[in-house]
Amino acid sequence: MSIYTIHVPPAELSPSSPDRFVFVRDGFSFWAFLLGPLWILWHRLWLVFIGYVALAVLLQVGLRLIGASTPVTFTAGALLALLVGFEAATLRRATLARRGWTSAGIVVGDDLESAERRFFDVWLRGEPSRAGSPMAPASTAAAAPPRMGGSEIIGLFPQPGVSR
């Protein structure tokens, strides 16, 4: 199961345009690791691309200036690619936040389609998510769970509120 964060465009918060929402999968991105600069450009992360190129050039030039061998230079490049693979989702979320997109919540699903289905089922009904989504109306806030009686509590403390 994958975890996705949902991002809403700045000017569109209505249910009439759910096709504009962006779902960002959390976790390692194989394509960002394998094809870092192309993946960055594909997702239109322009400042990230400039930073990536600057860091890669500085890293390679710095290693050549200190006389590092080719395997060391290759390893440093591979570690940079690994870092991009691990931080790909964070880079996308940061870019969306900088562009004014708001976070609508978090959803778990087997794949993108099931995550979208789960999110929109709850979002279109106007129910709050378990994390307290900012998209949820205040009038439908979840009530506190009912208190259990003393005989229904399982654990070390037989009565609620009693100290040890």
Question: Has residue 47 been placed in a domain?
Answer: yes
Number of CB atoms found within 10 A of residue 144's CB: 6
Question: Has residue 123 been placed in a domain?
Answer: yes
Question: Has residue 130 been placed in a domain?
Answer: yes
Question: Has residue 158 been placed in a domain?
Answer: no
Question: Has residue 154 been placed in a domain?
Answer: no
Tens digit of each residue's pLDDT (9 = 90 or more) over 25-58: 999 999 999 999 999 999 999 999 999 999 999 9
Range of the domain at 97: 2-140
Q: How many domains does the chain have?
A: 1
Question: Has residue 132 been placed in a domain?
Answer: yes
Q: Which has the minimum average pLDDT: 48-57, 68-77, 90-99, 123-132?
A: 123-132
Bridge partners, residue 103, by sequence: 7
CA atoms within 13 A on the CB side of 136: 17
| Cα(33)–Cα(88) distance, integer angstroms | 8
DSSP codes joined into one string, the chain: -EEEEEEE-TT--STT-GGG-EEEE-S--HHHHHTHHHHHHHTT-HHHHHHHHHHHHHHHHHHHHTT--HHHHHHHHHHHHHHHHHHHHHHHHHHHHHTT-EEEEEEEESSHHHHHHHHHHHHHHTPPPTT--TTS-GGGPPPPPPPPPGGG--SS-SSTT---
- Confidence band, pLDDT 50/70/90 cuts, at residue 132: very low
Question: Has residue 157 been placed in a domain?
Answer: no
Tens digit of each residue's pLDDT (9 = 90 or more) over 96-112: 999 888 888 899 999 99
Question: Has residue 153 been placed in a domain?
Answer: no
